[in-house]
Chains A and B, each alone.
Chain A
């Protein structure tokens, strides 16, 4: 108790307490009281030592508050802004930047002869990777098996639909051709106008592919007009029978069209 007041170099309280203890000790007859007295003496001597220390440092007064202020300045404190923290009423305002202690540390490392910590440059061997790899491989094989089984079934379905798609497309194109001719029976369409898709080269090729089916099946025919440009028209139904009997009436034409020509 009352440590602080005793520590005050100007006070004599410590001496007074010791003197008082001396007097009381005269009346002691129980061990317990003697122990208390001993404890008191230990505390008193500690306080005495502290007092002596205080005297010592007063010779070259070190102002820790000023030191703290200077440290904050060194760390780059911004005193114009006010920090919004709770419970720091006794701390003067100012904002410590986030790199404050970094700055301090940079300076500090100059004062220590610290052994750099030892690290392997390339890292250490780890014995773990092989095990997970095996597991992954096994899993992959397992899943692949399943996928393959699923594949054939899928493929079959796809191929079927592919065929259907082609037939459907061919029919569609035939219908378009026929519709056009219904509207204007005597005007065959320029082949190129018919097949070319101005926006897609791939579509163009597809169109030509489908048209070739029509021709093969005798559902349409391609002729050359006055300018030598191919035109296409659906074959008239009546002619179908005759087509079959006419041998060699069909010609094979290879048309090449590349992207540049298409453009």
Chain B
């Protein structure tokens, strides 16, 4: 049962969509073992950690969904990452940096305005990313990298963007601040309030 669950988790993680408890119950933990759900999940988590160096994280306590993140220290050298994925991570990091530096929450209009400066337009098909709006608002949100909430009573509807739970787990404010500092050739302490916030949350 445990190894089946490990397999399920690994396969489901390919798309980086969170794995739901309902899926687990459907495919792996059949009715007779339902009582042992927690135990099986825990053991699977341990296997993932010990064999693969991956951490099983529960990101939503209400509907119990999980994601896998890499628990190994970052190694130098080639990452087994396809080009398409790499480019998306690039865009994602830029977006996360923007959100953080702007106080952890930005309006969608502000984000698009910023991305304009980088030749990325929501209405225009991008050479690399294709339908950017879909990528940002749909894919990144479903993968839990970004969270978007509608600002009430706005017409036409406006949204605000924040970091999603996966972003919180896979990276940190400190890392992102370091990234910004590197890009701008400054010391992270240059942005005092962001710096103190970043240090506080590690």
Q: Do A and B come from one complex?
A: yes
Within 82-121 of B, Cβ neighbours of A (below 8 Å) are at 83, 85-94, 97-98, 101-103, 105, 114, 116-119
Q: How many Å from the CB of B156 to the closest CB on chain A?
A: 13
Q: How many Å from the CB of A70 to the closest CB on chain B?
A: 5
C-alpha spacing A115/B54, complex, angstroms? 7
Contact B79 A109, beta carbon cutoff 8 Å: yes
Q: How many Å from the CB of A186 to the closest CB on chain B?
A: 88
Given known A-B contacts A109-B89, A116-B80, A62 and B10 have beta carbons under 8 A apart? no
Q: Which of B52, B89, B194 contacts A114 (CB 8 A)?
A: B89
**Residues of A contacting B70 in the complex (Cβ-Cβ under 8 angstroms):** 113-116
Q: Which of B52, B178, B192 contacts A59 (CB 8 A)?
A: B192
Contact B103 A114, beta carbon cutoff 8 Å: no
Q: Which of A64, A105, A111, A118 contacts B176 (CB 8 A)?
A: A111
**Residues of B contacting A116 in the complex (Cβ-Cβ under 8 angstroms):** 70, 79-81
C-alpha spacing A71/B94, complex, angstroms? 8
Contact A112 B94, beta carbon cutoff 8 Å: no
Contact B153 A43, beta carbon cutoff 8 Å: yes
Given known A-B contacts A56-B193, A101-B87, A102-B87, A109 and B153 have beta carbons under 8 A apart? no
- The interface on chain B, measured as residues whose beta carbon lies within 8 A of the other chain's beta carbons, has a size of 60
C-alpha spacing A65/B110, complex, angstroms? 12
Question: 1/0 per residue A51-64: CB within 8 Å of B?
Answer: 00100110110101
List 19 contacting pairs A-B, 8 Å CB cutoff, sorted by A. A53-B105, A60-B195, A64-B101, A68-B114, A68-B117, A91-B119, A96-B119, A98-B127, A101-B90, A102-B83, A104-B94, A105-B86, A105-B87, A105-B89, A108-B86, A108-B179, A111-B179, A112-B171, A115-B52
Task: For the A-B complex with A115-B68, A115-B70 known, give 13 more contacts whose Cβ atoms are closer than 8 Å.
Answer: A43-B153, A46-B153, A59-B193, A88-B119, A91-B119, A101-B90, A111-B171, A111-B175, A114-B81, A114-B170, A115-B52, A116-B81, A119-B14
